[in-house]
Amino acid sequence: MPGSHGSLTKAGKVKTQTPKVQKRGVNARPKKIPRIRYRDNYKKRMIKGEYGGQQGSIGASRRYRK
């Protein structure tokens, strides 16, 4: 292959120089395994009849629409 796009000795240079920033807020917590997360959502929505969101949201107001 003729030519190259930069030498291999410089590979990863920018990533190693970038300072590591700690995760904060919602992203700082480790996520649940999807299978467990879906099971918890099913229990919450179907069995308990709770809906996500804020109290005045459309999803939460479904609870009272029966």
Domain ranges of the chain: 30-66
How far is it, in rounded angstroms, from Cα 51 to Cα 41?
9
CA 15 to chain centre: 23
Q: What is the mean pLDDT of residues 12-31?
A: 90
pTM, full prediction? 0.48
Determine the pLDDT at residue 26.
85
Determine the pLDDT at residue 10.
82
The answer to whether 45 and 37 have CB atoms below 8 angstroms apart is no
How many Cβ atoms from other residues are within 10 Å of residue 60's Cβ? 14
Backbone angles phi, psi at 4, to 5 degrees: -155, 160
